[in-house]
Amino acid sequence: MHADRGVMPRLDLQHSKGAQRRRRLKRGVARWNLDRQLCAEPTRRVATVTLTVRSDEPEAAIGRVYRFLARVRRQWLGTRYFCWLELQRRGAVHYHLVWLNPPSLGRVDLIAWVQRAWGSDRTQVRFKDVRDGLQSELDYVMGYAKKMGRKSYQQRYDEVPRELRTFMSQRLEIPPKELDGHMSRDEYLYVPEATYRGERVPEHLEVVGHVDHVVPPGGRCSALDKRRLRSLPAARAPGRSGSAEGTDKACARRPIKNGNA
């Protein structure tokens, strides 16, 4: 993001494969988090898992995390997770996984189970505080999606084989396109390449306003009306039952232009 005196903030357009992957990662984690807030059973436990591939060649990771997550889903029906790809400095692939409500340690030795399921390569399992731990992981991946500078090698996706997905999650309960209409967001205007005072100004997106997604006190988000049926019962939470029809307390969009309500 750039800002200049007397000029609205702008976002330079990047068309590389790596830039497109980073944008999809940012959009993907935002959708997953909103779906989690609206639909998930209460989050009682959070585990973060790191899965490393020993080989320096990214091709060696093809299919590894897919098979691991398929095994997790078969073992524990209804598992909720968000997993994304990182690169080490030497080019090796490893994955970060946020796992909601993993089996309790009283039921299973999760550290040993993850190691057996992943294989001989290195794994790490940590258990986090539900409130601060989950938020810190979400902040990390959102920051990671735009990481620059000293650790930018972690997201050099341009040379990553197309068979390796940037991120994966369980199937969302609300369709992704529906979730997009219920997120706060900036509004942009496309500005083509031009010359200004003898200098070339590349094409860019100029921020012209912001739209807030607002749920009034005691209200509910109407995205829940598009919720898919699941085999597991959903948790009942205040403001999450019923229909948006016949109520004036459904969510709404509040446009904000140039930073002013």
Q: Does residue 162 surpass a pLDDT of 90?
A: no
Structure-token match 């140039």, residue found:
258
Contacts of 242 (CB under 8 A, 6+ apart): 220
Contact (Cβ atoms closer than 8 angstroms) between residue 61 and residue 107: no
This model's pTM is above 0.85: no
Contact (Cβ atoms closer than 8 angstroms) between residue 244 and residue 220: yes
Contact (Cβ atoms closer than 8 angstroms) between residue 54 and residue 90: no
Q: Does residue 16 surpass a pLDDT of 90?
A: no
**Per-residue pLDDT tens over the stretch 20-32:** 888 899 899 999 9
Q: Taking the CA of residue 123 as centre, how many other CA atoms within 13 Å lie in the half-sphere pointing to its CB?
A: 20
* Comma-separated ranges of CATH 3.30.70.1910 domains in the chain: 14-173
Q: Does residue 142 surpass a pLDDT of 70?
A: yes
Tokens of 28: 């993907």
User: Whose CA is closest to 86, among 15, 14, 141?
Assistant: 141
**Per-residue pLDDT tens over the stretch 244-257:** 443 446 677 777 66
Using a pLDDT cut of 70, give the percent of the chain over it. 79
**Per-residue pLDDT tens over the stretch 168-205:** 999 999 999 999 999 988 888 888 888 888 888 888 88
Instruction: Specify the pLDDT at position 149.
Output: 52
CATH classification (class only), 14-173: alpha beta
Instruction: Specify the pLDDT at position 257.
Output: 62
Q: Taking the CA of residue 174 as centre, how many other CA atoms within 13 Å lie in the half-sphere pointing to its CB?
A: 26
**3-state DSSP assignment of residue 7:** strand
What's at 161, amino acid-wise? P
Q: Does residue 128 surpass a pLDDT of 80?
A: yes
Instruction: Specify the pLDDT at position 155.
Output: 67
Instruction: Specify the pLDDT at position 10.
Output: 63
Helices 110-118 and 64-75: crossing angle in degrees, nearest 10, is 140
